[in-house]
Structure 1
Amino acid sequence: MPDLSWRRAAAVTLKDAEHVRADPAPLIVLTLMPLLIMGFLSSAFEADLTERYGAAPGGIAVTGAEQAVPGIAAMFCFFLVSYVGQTIFREHGWRTWNRLRASPLRAAELIGGRVTSTLLLALTQQTVLFAVGGALFGLHVRGSVAALAVVAVALAASMVCFGFALIAFCRSMMQLNALAYLTGLLFAGCGGGIVPYATLPLWAQALGKVTPTYWAMRGFNEAVLGGAGVDGVLLPVAVLLGLAAVFALAAWCVFRPEQVKVPWS
């Protein structure tokens, strides 16, 4: 049984944090861009949501942010995949991957540290988008904020595992970028992240039910519009964690430490 060290895994997480601090521009863009999109879309959803859900208890009106904020936050969570891919591909570009493999750092510690840093990054993005987007566009959560947080954690976990599955599959950063943005848009479009799920054509609704975004939006809607507590979002959370397990298994089966990754071409 290999002697695993949480300290070595934590060192990988801290090193990733240093890289984010040294070049925060991509992460800032992936946070500011969704806020801008929320501003454009919130008013477009106001009439539809008011008709279907009405005012909240106490007479608080629906603003459209109830769809725009969680929907765009869920979509951009998966756009983080390409950003996360840099944590692996840059090691190959810097020719340090083989050095890491030859060091006392074990594969499980390296991946564990990277998973932790990625999960923290996704949760930070989700927190900022819900807090700032909610404050700017009048998001009112009818249910439990804890339920909202549990769904966000499960969504982040599914994104992290999906991201590492894509990283394991792709040989170049260009391949990863293309697949990350394609799947991110597909998940958001069919899962109800861009427009309400009920307004989608039947073929998109059928496809959407196998996407993480659908289950994340189902959980978010239960908390934001349905007034649910943590017990009311257990099914979406369980499905998201199940999808995360499937993605993790796929990554485990496909990933080969000796495979050469091409940073850009």
Structure 2
Amino acid sequence: MTPATASASARFSLQRWWSIVLKEFLQLRRDRVTFGMIVGLPIMQLLLFGFAINTDPRQLPTAVIAADQSEFTRSFIASMEQSTYFKLVGTLPDERAGREALMKGEVQFVLTIPPDFTRRLLRGERPALLVEADATDPSATGQAIAALPQLPYRVATHDLKGALAPLAGGRPPFDVQVQRLYNPEGITQYNIVPGLMGVILTMTMVMMTGLAMTRERERGTMENLLATPVRPLEVMTGKIVPYIFIGLIQSTIVLLAARWIFSVPFVGSVLAVYLAALLFIAANLTVGITLSSLAQNQLQAMQLTFFYFLPNILLSGFMFPFAGMPGWAQAIGNILPMTYFHRMVRGILLKGNGWFELWPNLWPMALFIVVVMAIAVRFYRRTLD
């Protein structure tokens, strides 16, 4: 190389620089997964944060136990619905049915009207209505509970006229007693810490499994594995088992921290928590295996993991109230296993839910595992070909 050539190569060349730029654009165009993430992630974040996230949930499912029916009770129920915080979904026969509905998560509120409510109201005795709230998530019920004290004034304005006008007076004609169940102090940690178990397991299980498969493919050890007489299902389940133990260790760490650091109550069975965690770990590992079959390298596996993790953390009810999301967002959330796991672990720890209350959340997660595992086996066979 002559001194003139060396001097020319040492100088910054726009032509060489532009060649590198074009090469990178070509590389991005060939990497369809990365290109999809560049376009897909901003769109997903805009849709989720712009439309799905709502910190002031309304239309919360409410049931009524009506032992007394009159124009006053009907007016109060109508005022609840007009406030837009409550949505009447049905009536219940007794207090036991109301508690069961709250424990299963079928309703957020139960309004109980005592049998002598109207008679005591007309006598000026200021009777009380009872509103029981599922307060496991304080952010989901806080605004609705704050709206309740104003509703008796609406009933007084609407119904206590003429000869009944003196009953209105300056005070409300009746009281609304609110009973916050399962988290009466409204402590946020009681809701967040159990939910963190689902977040941690989702992030680590999906990522670790996805990287494990793609790592073998990049290092060339996958060919040695394929040369052995093993079936795709045997390979995938064999790779999953070690991570199950890792997931159980992580669950134990979260449970110990919840009990001894954050003082989260353990009302239900710890064994039920571990069985729910085991099922949830299996669901996440099947997702990780499937994503690893789609990814060509570890970078793509991490990108797909994040693409899966984002809707889980936003639409499962962990960060934002599930009841406050629009219908389409709830439909997506009802596909994700983290949604059901959050309901189960919070229900076990805070409500003491048993298998009868857990079953509506158990079978969707089991179905998710079967469907995703079938997809993983199919894509794995395609990878073998």
Using structure 2 for the length normalisation, give the TM-score: 0.50
Residue in structure 1 matching 2:247, options 98, 103, 122:
122
* Structure (1 or 2) with the greater strand fraction: 2
Residue 67 (1) aligns with residue 67 (2): no
Q: Note if contact 1:76-1:184 (Cα within 8 Å) is conserved in structure 2.
A: no
Alignment partner, residue 274 of structure 2:
149
Matches of 2:140 and 2:188 in 1, distance apart? 6
Matches of 1:99 and 1:257 in 2, distance apart? 17
Alignment partner, residue 176 of structure 1:
301
Alignment partner, residue 163 of structure 1:
288
Structure 2 SS opposite 1:194: coil
Counterparts of 1:1-265 in structure 2, within 5 Å, are 48=139, 54=180, 61=185, 63-80=187-204, 81-103=206-228, 107-256=232-381, 258=383
Q: Note if contact 2:209-2:240 (Cα within 8 Å) is conserved in structure 1.
A: no
Distance verdict in 2 for CA 1:257–1:205, change over 3 Å:
closer
Matches of 2:271 and 2:191 in 1, distance apart? 18
* Structure (1 or 2) with the greater helix fraction: 1
Deviation at 1:74, TM superposition (A): 0.8
Q: Note if contact 1:151-1:236 (Cα within 8 Å) is conserved in structure 2.
A: no
Question: AA paired with 1:204?
Answer: A
Deviation at 1:227, TM superposition (A): 1.9
Question: AA paired with 1:196?
Answer: P
Share of identical aligned residues, percent?
22
Matches of 2:213 and 2:236 in 1, distance apart? 10
Unpaired segments of 5 or more residues in structure 2?
1-135, 146-178
Larger Rg: 2
CA displacement 1:83-114 (0-9 Å, x = unmatched):
22222122123221111222355544432220
The number of equivalent residue pairs is 214
Matches of 1:247 and 1:108 in 2, distance apart? 12
CA displacement 1:44-97 (0-9 Å, x = unmatched):
x9854896873659xx85532222122222122121212222221221232211
Coordinate RMSD, CA, aligned: 2.8
Distance verdict in 2 for CA 1:253–1:157, change over 3 Å:
same
Alignment partner, residue 36 of structure 2:
none
Matches of 2:265 and 2:292 in 1, distance apart? 37
Deviation at 1:140, TM superposition (A): 0.8
Matches of 1:140 and 1:49 in 2, distance apart? 20
Distance verdict in 2 for CA 1:110–1:253, change over 3 Å:
closer
Matches of 1:180 and 1:153 in 2, distance apart? 20
Q: Note if contact 1:187-1:211 (Cα within 8 Å) is conserved in structure 2.
A: yes
Distance verdict in 2 for CA 1:216–1:194, change over 3 Å:
same
Q: Note if contact 2:312-2:333 (Cα within 8 Å) is conserved in structure 1.
A: yes
Distance verdict in 2 for CA 1:113–1:48, change over 3 Å:
same
Unpaired segments of 5 or more residues in structure 1?
1-44, 261-265
